[in-house]
Amino acid sequence: MKLRNLLLGLGLGCAIIFPACKDIIEVEPEYQKAGSPGGFFSLDDHEFALTGAYALFRAPGYYGIGMYNAGTWAALPDMMADDLVQTKEDFGNWAAQTNWTYATDEANIEIAWVAAYAVIAQANLTLRNIEQYSATNAKRVNRIKGQALAIRGMAHFDLLRFWGESYDRNSTANGVPYKTTVNVEDLPTRLTVKETYDNIFRDLTAADTLLGDVDRTINAPTNRAYIDQIAARALLARLNLYVEDFEAAESYASQVIAALDLADRDAFAAIWKDNYPADKEVIWKVTFSPGEGQAGTGIHIGSANLNLFRPARHLEDMFNKANDIRYAAYFGGREAGASAAVYPGNTAPGSSSRRIVTKYLGRGEALDNLVDWKVLRTGEMYLIRAEARARQGGAKLNTALTDLQTLRAARIKGFAPTVSIGQQALLDAIALERRKELFAEGHRWFDLKRTIRTVSRADVENAAASETLVPAAREWTWPIPQGEIDVNRNIAQTEGYK
């Protein structure tokens, strides 16, 4: 018995001292997927990653609204200009931007910078080593790669729009770093504006080509949520307008217009409630579903009836209020008070002077601001083509005028065309139409910067609001965020902020 006890005891001793196998700490993630340095293991993963890149456009700092930052490329460019007026109801969370008081440590500027590069990083992950599938699955690779390149090119273009010291095609002033690889240790320099453009052109034209030869249709007729070949060309049209390659801009715009014409007048208003006509008007939109944030709450918070920014009076007065369908689609009246109703156009009873932007209130009757962000529209394509043609001059002045008239006829009931017009007057008319058509869609600030104008706010509500920004002001170009300067010794600060 003693011996048995001893053996048992010894056995027990050993058993309890080392009971654990080392695999106890070999735990694998279940709710996330571990990556590997070489990239993904299947083409499906590349496709999943592309979806992730699109989702990042919704991030606060890109199109989405954060707690303290407006959608940088959504309505902020309008808030920074002259057609949206900061009201007394605004919290001032992005007043540093809208009043041009930013310094290098402005948090919202860093958030925007990171948000755009996060989209780019996700696009680069999508692209990493995707060529290994080209031999076996060429058309699917084209579809994924084309979109990822377009996303990368567009995000860099958006960065250049704020941080480029110039928009000239051949400028040697500071542009932005162009990221094409996945490398967390990279400390990139700023390319010149020209070099930045070169890269953007390379990516967008490659995307255009790739997206012409794909395995399946990318977009549904009433839900154009992805960048297909038409959207890539629309981006190229916009890009060529910025660099003043008017022939190319005209050509790309024409291709887009041929594929997706303007919405019918009856269907136009419903677009802002996310009720889309098939293959018309909306070229690419970033979709928002419940729980995914919003893009439009920076202007008017429908649920709380907080009217942070209101339409400028002079802008509203430019519209033919009775006949322009945009007037009722874009503007409305709403009394203060959480449950006050929204009246489109100027149908509000009584003499309410509280004016709101109604573009982003919600789907149907909802006031939850949950609507898609329309990035590219055929209306913009007509304006690009009109401007490109008018700038080319000569015989093209007539086609430019026709473009302008076509757009107006599509928006204004009983529109009576003007017969002829001089070049400068035509360009002014196009600029005015652009201001009206694309109001609060993220263009105004860039259009002023592009055409080198002064911001002068005729309609100001807050005493603290800045009123004038001359073309020479440093604020036309954003500073490189302090966080980037602190860590990246290779990067140059924007002129004026050093």
Partner 1 sequence: MKKVLLLKLALLLCLLQQAVAQDRTVTGTVTEQATAKALPGVSVSVKGAATGTSTDQEGRFSLGVPANSATENLTLIFSLMGMVAQEVVVGDSTVLAIALAADAKQLSEIVVTGYQTQNRREVTGSVATVAGQEVALNPFGSFEQALQGRATGMLVQANSGQPGATASVLIRGRGSVFGGTQPLFILDGVEISATDFSTLNHADFASYTILKDAISTSQYGSRGANGVVVITTKKGVEGPTLLDYHVQYGFSTMPENRHRVMNSQEKLAYELANGNPYGWDADDIARLSAINTSWEKELFRTGLTKNHTLTASGGNNKTTYLLSGSIFDQEGTVRNTGLDRYTGRANIESRAGDFTFGLNSTFGYSELANTYEATTSTNVPLNAIRWSNPYEPPYDQNGNYNQPVASWQPNALELIYENTSLRQQLKGVGNVYVAYNVPFLPGLSFRTSWGGDYFSNETSELLDPTTAPGRGVPGGKGQYSRGYNRFFGYTGTTSASYDRRFGSDHTLQVSMFNEIVKGGGKNFGFTGYGLGGPFENEAGITPGTATNGFIPAVNGGGNEQALLSYFTMVHYGYKNRYFVSATGRRDGSSRFGLNHQWANFGSAGVSWVVSEEAFMEALTGVFNELKFKASYGTSGNQAGLGDFQSRELYGRAVYNGVSGLQQVQLENEQLKWERRTTFNTGLELATLQGRLRATIEYYHALTSDLFLNRQLSRTTGYTNLVSNVGTLQNSGVEFSLDGDLIKTQDFTWSANLNLTHNRNRINKLVGEGDNDIISGVYMNREGEALNSFYVVRYAGVNPDNGNAQYLNLNGDLTEVYNPADRVLVGSAEVPFFGGFGTSLQYKGFALSTFFTFVQGNKIYNEDRTNIENPSFVWDNLAAAMLDEWREPGQVTAIPRASQVLRTGTTRFIEEGDFLRWRNLMVSYTLPGNVLKAARLRHVSVFAQGQNLATFTKFLGFDPEVSTPALTGARSRVPGQLSGAQYPALRTITFGISVGL
> In the window 214-233, what residues touch partner 1 (CB under 8 A)?
223, 225-226
Task: Name the phi and psi angles at 24, rounded to 5.
Answer: -65, -25
Token reading at 401: 């005028």
Can residue 472 be called a binding residue for partner 1 (CB under 8 A)? Answer: no
Listed in sequence order, the DSSP H helices in 322-455 are 325-330, 378-392, 396-411, 423-437, 444-450
Token reading at 354: 């509280």
Closer residue to partner 1 (CB): 32 or 136: 32
Closer residue to partner 1 (CB): 305 or 477: 305
The CA distance from 49 to 66, in Å, is 23
Site string for partner 1, 421-460 (x = CB under 8 A): ----------------------------------------
Can residue 147 be called a binding residue for partner 1 (CB under 8 A)? Answer: no
Closer residue to partner 1 (CB): 58 or 280: 58
DSSP for 154-193, written as a single string: HHHHHHHHHH-S---TT--SB------S--TT--PPPPBH
Shortest distance (Å) from residue 432 CB to partner 1: 33
The CA distance from 155 to 235, in Å, is 11
Can residue 352 be called a binding residue for partner 1 (CB under 8 A)? Answer: no
Shortest distance (Å) from residue 61 CB to partner 1: 11
Q: Which residues are CB-neighbours of 274 under 8 A, at least 6 positions away?
A: 363, 371, 372
Judged by CB under 8 A, which stretch of 120-128, 207-215, 255-263, 428-436 contacts partner 1? 120-128
The CA distance from 376 to 251, in Å, is 16
> Is residue 156 classed exposed, middle or buried when 0-12, 13-18 and 19+ CB atoms within 10 A define those classes?
buried
Task: Name the phi and psi angles at 395, rounded to 5.
Answer: -65, -25
Judged by CB under 8 A, which stretch of 112-120, 196-204, 352-360, 400-408 contacts partner 1? 112-120
Shortest distance (Å) from residue 131 CB to partner 1: 19
Can residue 354 be called a binding residue for partner 1 (CB under 8 A)? Answer: no
By CB under 8 A, name the one of 366, 425, 452, 470 that touches partner 1. 366
Q: Is 417 left (phi over 0), alpha (psi -120 to 50) or beta?
A: beta
Per CB under 8 A, which of residues 248..307 are in contact with partner 1? 287, 289-292, 301-306
Can residue 419 be called a binding residue for partner 1 (CB under 8 A)? Answer: no
Can residue 25 be called a binding residue for partner 1 (CB under 8 A)? Answer: yes
**DSSP classification of residue 274:** T
By CB under 8 A, name the one of 132, 137, 392, 462 that touches partner 1. 462
**DSSP classification of residue 469:** E
Per CB under 8 A, which of residues 378..397 are in contact with partner 1? none
**DSSP classification of residue 272:** T
By CB under 8 A, name the one of 16, 258, 416, 472 that touches partner 1. 16
Q: Which long-range contacts (CB under 8 A, 24 or more apart) does 326-332 make?
A: 326/268, 326/411, 326/436, 326/437, 328/269, 329/268, 329/269, 329/271, 329/272, 329/358, 329/359, 330/272, 330/357, 330/358, 330/359, 330/439, 330/440, 331/355, 331/356, 331/357, 331/358, 332/356, 332/357, 332/358
Q: How far apart are the first and last CA of the chain?
A: 88
By CB under 8 A, name the one of 74, 85, 236, 370 that touches partner 1. 370
Q: Are 209 and 148 in contact (CB under 8 A)?
A: no
Can residue 481 be called a binding residue for partner 1 (CB under 8 A)? Answer: yes
Shortest distance (Å) from residue 314 CB to partner 1: 22
> Is residue 61 classed exposed, middle or buried when 0-12, 13-18 and 19+ CB atoms within 10 A define those classes?
buried
Listed in sequence order, the DSSP H helices in 99-137 are 107-127
Can residue 346 be called a binding residue for partner 1 (CB under 8 A)? Answer: no
Token reading at 481: 């965020």
Can residue 26 be called a binding residue for partner 1 (CB under 8 A)? Answer: yes
Shortest distance (Å) from residue 241 CB to partner 1: 26
Can residue 2 be called a binding residue for partner 1 (CB under 8 A)? Answer: yes
Closer residue to partner 1 (CB): 183 or 323: 183
Can residue 192 be called a binding residue for partner 1 (CB under 8 A)? Answer: no
By CB under 8 A, name the one of 7, 41, 101, 413 that touches partner 1. 101
Shortest distance (Å) from residue 47 CB to partner 1: 7
Q: By rule CB under 8 A, what count of residues binds partner 1? A: 108
By CB under 8 A, name the one of 7, 41, 43, 50 that touches partner 1. 50
Can residue 195 be called a binding residue for partner 1 (CB under 8 A)? Answer: no
Shortest distance (Å) from residue 279 CB to partner 1: 17
Q: How many CB atoms lie within 10 A of CB 125?
A: 21
Shortest distance (Å) from residue 372 CB to partner 1: 9
Can residue 5 be called a binding residue for partner 1 (CB under 8 A)? Answer: yes
Shortest distance (Å) from residue 125 CB to partner 1: 6
Can residue 151 be called a binding residue for partner 1 (CB under 8 A)? Answer: no
Q: How many CB atoms lie within 10 A of CB 423?
A: 15
